[in-house]
Amino acid sequence: MIKIDYSKCLKCGKCLMVCKRGPLRAPEKDGEAPLVIEDENAACFLCAHCASVCPAGAITVEGLKDVEFGALPSAAPHYEDYIAFIRSRRSTRNYKNIPVPGELIARVIDSARYAPTAKNSCGVCVTAVTGNSVSKLAGLTFEFYKGLMEIVKSPVKKYFFMLAAGISTFRAIKKNMPAFEYGYKMWLDGTDLLFYDAPALLIVHADKTLPMPKDDCDYALYEMTLAAETLGLATCVNGFFLRAAENSKELRRFIKLPAGHEPYGAITLGFPALKFKKTPARKPVNVTYIS
């Protein structure tokens, strides 16, 4: 709950400006301090914007440590610098054969807490897979895809699969079958086209009953990809693993997915073995302006 120290409050009204539907209400008379109301319709999701904007430090949010973060920079980075930075991020499929120190993994993960979450649920969880566990997980993932290949090839299995999963899911799997088969063959030959021998894999997951868990995890994942770049690390989003983890009990068990959680994204992480010299060509965004 929000608490105002009225002895400090400057009655500037800034907290009221940022609190659109929450428990802060305008005072009955001009020049008085804002009120904190206890109304179940006042949806406070502890965004703490009121405390963040208060120039007097008069507001505290129960359960959140106010002193944790240092002062904000006075200005955002220049647009050109920021665009140059995000343009330099590349999906990286060549990693140095050295582990990522735990301290760097922790710093990458910490960046996820600053991503927006629906209703400020802050429910994004991260599982970090390192060491031999990365290749064990790759092996299990390929076993899952091997099972799918067997389904596609067997008329009986195919029939029951289509009944259970639907024809469009079956068609999507069939379409990707050459990629699965090639990846599996290469894996048996000793080449990892799934995780590219990355020394670490970060998986984002969340309770599926949160308001918008997938979106929360997407934003958090992208924050981590950018944070990794600032630390000299590189990443690659991994949809192949995610699709398998969504559907495989073995994979869910291996990554210790809590009951009620869904995996919503994964990135490989490691020190890049190659340096990109320029941004690859990209189509412009298709924009519609309505005024």
Ligand X SMILES: Cc1cc2nc3c(=O)[nH]c(=O)nc-3n(C[C@H](O)[C@H](O)[C@H](O)COP(=O)(O)O)c2cc1C
Which positions touch ligand X (CB under 6 A)? 90-91, 93, 236-240
- Least CB distance to ligand X at residue 219 (A): 13
Contacts 24+ apart (CB under 8 A), 47-54: 47/22, 47/120, 49/18, 49/19, 50/2, 50/15, 50/18, 50/19, 50/22, 50/24, 51/2, 51/15, 52/18, 53/14, 53/15, 53/17, 53/18, 54/14, 54/15
The whole-angstrom separation of Cα 64 and Cα 244 is: 37
User: What are the CA-CA distances from residue 179 to residues 10, 114, 149 (Å)?
Assistant: 63, 36, 11
- Least CB distance to ligand X at residue 267 (A): 9
Of the pair 160, 182, the CB lying nearest ligand X is at 182
Closest chain position to ligand X (CB) = 239
Of the pair 33, 221, the CB lying nearest ligand X is at 221
- Least CB distance to ligand X at residue 225 (A): 9
- Least CB distance to ligand X at residue 198 (A): 10
- Least CB distance to ligand X at residue 165 (A): 20
Closest-CA residue to 130 (of 197, 65, 69, 70): 197
Of the pair 48, 193, the CB lying nearest ligand X is at 193
Of the pair 286, 291, the CB lying nearest ligand X is at 286
The whole-angstrom separation of Cα 125 and Cα 68 is: 20
Of the pair 50, 236, the CB lying nearest ligand X is at 236
